[in-house]
């Protein structure tokens, strides 16, 4: 059985009230690096199922995640030392993100440096979604490598994803696609599936 506990960390006294600096409450506060890391970790794990957990001979841990929308990811860290790690060639690793959400392309890398802070190796590029206004939203993703397309579903419990056939526009090394907003809930992902 796995047990996880969250303890008060780095409390600060503000007007005789102790606050945890990674908190983002009230919303006007800027989160501390710990809060950013916590938020990013939640995003890595939300809706994912861990399918395996291994430790290599260097003590590097690898948690394999199966995400909704048929994409895999691997969270990699070494609790004892900073060491080099070579992702197997059969892994479809496209990019690496750290706890601050800095993205490193893995297209020309055979070895990465890992340490106590976990990184996630994504099998698809990051898809950014922004709201332009109340009537439209924009999807943005890297143009390189080619072959990734946006997909849509309205129900994450379903395996039915619809490939968006709208033509994206090239914008500063990225693809950009503006879509009309719907009144319902929509989920988007990138995939190289045909």
Rounded to an integer, the average pLDDT of 123-152 is 80
| pLDDT-based confidence at residue 14 (cuts at 50, 70, 90) | low
Rounded to an integer, the average pLDDT of 63-86 is 87
Percentage of residues of the chain with pLDDT beyond 90: 23
Contact criterion met (CB below 8 Å) for 50 and 64: yes
- Give the number of other CB atoms < 10 A from CB of residue 175: 22
pLDDT of residue 12: 59
pLDDT of residue 77: 97
Name the residue ranges covered by the structural domains of the chain: 12-43, 49-122, 128-191
Percentage of residues of the chain with pLDDT beyond 70: 78
Residue 193 has pLDDT above 80, yes or no: no
Backbone angles phi, psi at 130, to 5 degrees: -130, 150
pTM for the model stands at: 0.66
Residue 22 has pLDDT above 70, yes or no: no
CATH number of 49-122: 2.60.40
pLDDT of residue 132: 66
Rounded to an integer, the average pLDDT of 151-177 is 83
Q: How far apart are CA 114 and CA 117, in angstroms?
A: 7
SS3 123: coil
Residue 168 has pLDDT above 70, yes or no: yes
136: which residues sit within 8 A by CB, 6+ positions away? 178, 179, 180, 181
Backbone angles phi, psi at 44, to 5 degrees: -65, -40
pLDDT of residue 25: 46
Rounded to an integer, the average pLDDT of 28-54 is 80
Contact criterion met (CB below 8 Å) for 115 and 61: no
- Residue whose structure tokens are 């490598």: 145
């Amino acid at each position: 059985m796995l047990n996880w506990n969250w303890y008060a960390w780095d409390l600060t006294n503000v007007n005789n009230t102790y606050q945890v600096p990674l908190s983002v409450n009230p919303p006007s506060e800027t989160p501390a690096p710990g809060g950013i890391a916590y938020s990013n970790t939640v995003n890595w794990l939300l809706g994912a199922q861990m399918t395996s957990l291994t430790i290599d001979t260097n003590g590097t841990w690898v948690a394999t995640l199966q995400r909704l929308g048929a994409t895999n990811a691997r969270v990699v860290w070494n609790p004892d030392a900073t060491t080099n790690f070579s992702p197997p060639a059969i892994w479809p690793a496209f990019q690496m993100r750290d706890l601050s959400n800095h993205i490193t392309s893995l297209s020309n890398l055979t070895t990465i440096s890992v340490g106590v802070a976990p990184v996630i190796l994504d099998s698809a590029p990051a898809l950014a979604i922004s709201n332009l206004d109340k009537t439209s939203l924009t999807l943005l993703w890297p143009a390189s490598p080619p072959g990734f397309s946006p997909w849509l579903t309205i129900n994450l419990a379903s395996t039915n994803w619809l490939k968006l056939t709208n033509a994206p526009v090239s914008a500063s090394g990225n693809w950009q696609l503006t879509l009309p907003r719907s009144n319902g809930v929509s989920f988007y992902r990138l995939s190289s599936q045909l």
